[in-house]
């Protein structure tokens, strides 16, 4: 199966952008725009409303309003891949249409994750109904596979079926399974037809690129964007494995903590803006001791976030 897809305007590295919140728990669109522009300046696209954005703690109307403000603030929609997946088809369709109305290059779509042990036929029916109801030839869906959170496994046969049935619509995926064998099998099966596979962590960036994937959509691209984007741009060079090891070291520090709260601690520290510490329940901020420990570990590896 060889399909001629429109070339993507999305970069090789995207960040599921951390969402800043106001005191009443609403997304702070002004701070979010500033953060997205910093990521853009460092070569990283914005997969807003992803897992690390606390997207499922934010309502669909809040997400749509924030997206509108980002576009009005001058963000490049060609580098945007908003998360639009929800357990409700209606919410998914509304958010997806809204992203298309703003000319976003693609949408990142979770499977419906509330019911477990569902069939491939049921998952196919969900994505199919969304596609039919959105009804746009411009729709570019990246399926979001994150079984550690959703407890839903997306089989190779389901992905192949979706890509075959909707070859110009279901154009790629983000795989956050953490299972390299699975990621590699998707790349081998579907990348030759133009299906764009993003690894869910920069830990797998070199492996993904060497196998025929297109890059990564990674949590720590929020805090280490330039180094990750630089590796994606220069992965064929002789020092690429050394660069990969440096990325892994930074990731290793953050992975010792609740990732979202940990990254918000770093952003708050380097931007000198303590409002960035806010997370939405059920998540909690790191304790003062944890914050101090994280920042100490980052200082020990000479980590910084220049220009934030």
Catalytic site residues? 144, 174
Cβ count near 76 (within 10 Å): 17
Of 15, 7, 38, 13, the closest CA to residue 235 belongs to 13
Q: Do the Cβ atoms of 160 and 167 come closer than 8 Å? A: no
Q: Do the Cβ atoms of 200 and 174 come closer than 8 Å? A: yes
Residues whose CB is less than 8 angstroms from the CB of residue 302 and which lie 6 or more positions away in sequence, other chains included: none
Of 14, 2, 10, the closest CA to residue 229 belongs to 14
- Alpha-carbon Rg for the chain in angstroms: 18
Q: Which long-range contacts (CB under 8 A, 24 or more apart) does 227-235 make?
A: 228/13, 228/44, 228/202, 229/11, 229/12, 229/13, 229/42, 229/43, 229/44, 230/43, 231/202, 231/205, 231/206, 232/11, 232/12, 232/13, 232/205, 233/12, 233/43, 235/205, 235/206, 235/209, 235/210
Count how many Cα atoms sit within 13 Å of the Cα of residue 112 in the half-sphere of its side chain.
Answer: 22
Of 227, 251, 243, 229, the closest CA to residue 52 belongs to 251
Residues whose CB is less than 8 angstroms from the CB of residue 238 and which lie 6 or more positions away in sequence, other chains included: none
Would you say 217 is a known binding-site residue?
Answer: yes
CA–CA gap between residue 57 and residue 203 (Å, rounded): 27
CA–CA gap between residue 235 and residue 243 (Å, rounded): 9
Q: Which residues are annotated as a binding site for pyruvate?
A: 217
Residue numbers belonging to the annotated binding site: 217
């Amino acid at each position: 199966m060889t399909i001629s897809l429109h070339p993507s305007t999305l970069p090789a590295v995207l960040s599921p952008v951390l969402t800043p919140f106001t005191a009443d728990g609403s997304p702070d669109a002004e701070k979010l725009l500033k953060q997205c522009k910093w990521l853009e300046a460092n070569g990283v696209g914005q997969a807003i409303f992803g897992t690390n954005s606390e997207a499922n703690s934010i309502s669909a109307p809040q997400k749509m309003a924030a997206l509108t403000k980002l576009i009005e603030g001058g963000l490049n929609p060609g580098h945007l891949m908003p998360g639009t997946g929800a357990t409700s088809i209606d919410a998914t369709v509304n958010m997806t249409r809204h992203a298309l109305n703003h000319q976003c290059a693609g949408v990142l779509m979770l499977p419906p994750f509330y019911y477990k042990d569902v069939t491939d036929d049921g998952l196919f029916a969900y994505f199919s109904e969304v596609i039919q109801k959105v009804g746009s030839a411009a729709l570019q869906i990246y399926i979001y596979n994150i079984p550690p959170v959703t407890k839903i496994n997306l089989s190779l046969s389901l992905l192949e079926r979706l890509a075959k049935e909707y070859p110009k619509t279901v154009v790629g995926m983000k795989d956050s399974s953490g299972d390299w064998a699975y990621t590699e099998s998707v790349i081998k099966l579907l990348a030759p037809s133009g299906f764009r596979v993003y690894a869910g962590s920069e830990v797998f960036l070199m492996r993904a690129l060497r196998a025929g994937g297109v890059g990564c959509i990674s949590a720590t691209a929020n805090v280490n964007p330039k180094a990750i984007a630089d590796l994606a741009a220069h992965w064929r060079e002789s020092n690429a494995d050394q660069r990969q090891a440096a990325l892994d070291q930074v990731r290793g520090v953050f992975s010792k903590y609740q990732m979202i709260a940990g990254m918000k601690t770093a952003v708050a520290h380097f931007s000198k803006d303590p409002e960035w510490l806010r997370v939405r329940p059920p998540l909690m901020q790191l304790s003062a001791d944890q914050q101090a420990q994280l920042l100490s570990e980052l200082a020990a590896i000479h980590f910084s976030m220049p220009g934030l």
